[in-house]
Structure 1
Amino acid sequence: MVDAKYLNHKLECPYCETIRLRIPEDVDPGTPISCEDCGQFLGIWDELLTDLEKQGGTDGVFRLDKGRIRKIG
């Protein structure tokens, strides 16, 4: 069971289980996004941003906790 206090889904790398995205400065909805730690492809920016919004990741207070984003408020 996934802990609902942590953001995950498409944001969390299935290979190294961290959330560290390599996002270029000129990102647009179709930009491919990779894991900063291991370099694996995670999805396009629009998919990842939509997933973040569905999890409430644009509203609240968060803390980076051991490579994962934890919602604290």
Structure 2
Amino acid sequence: MRPKYLNHKLECPYCLTIRLRIPADARPDTPIFCDDCGEYLGTWDELQTDFEKQGGNTGVFRIEKGRFKRID
């Protein structure tokens, strides 16, 4: 059974949302912040790595044009 929630770095530990502020020109070392509360979440590379560990595009979510979308 696949997981129902992302539960690592993608979820903001401060406000518990998954809304990332990702610049259009993000590189692996670009710092990424929560779009709701502004807290630092990690580098773009760290967040993408964590996403892949949780199933990547074959899990509950997929990345499309820099946005995480729930797969129904």
TM-score (norm 1): 0.76
RCO higher in structure (CA 8 A, sep ≥6): 1
1:16 aligns with 15
* Percentage identity across paired residues of the two chains: 71
Kindly report the root-mean-square deviation, in angstroms, between the aligned alpha carbons of the 2 structures: 2.1
Q: Which residue of 1 aligns with 2:27?
A: 28
Which residues of structure 2 form unaligned runs of 5+?
Answer: 62-68
Structure 1 residue 55 displacement after superposition: 0.3
Unmatched runs of 5 consecutive residues or more in structure 1: 63-68
Code of the residue aligned with 2:51 in structure 1: it is L
Q: What is the TM-score normalised by the length of structure 2?
A: 0.77
Are the equivalent residues in 1 in contact too, given 2:20–2:32 (CA < 8 A)? yes
Partner of 2:46: 47
Q: How many residues end up aligned between the 2 structures?
A: 64
Aligned equivalents of 1:26, 1:70: Cα separation in 2: 23
Where 2:50 maps in the other structure, the secondary structure is helix
CA distance in 1, matches of 2:17, 2:4: 15
Distance 1:55 1:61, change over 3 A: closer
Q: Secondary structure at the match of 1:43?
A: strand
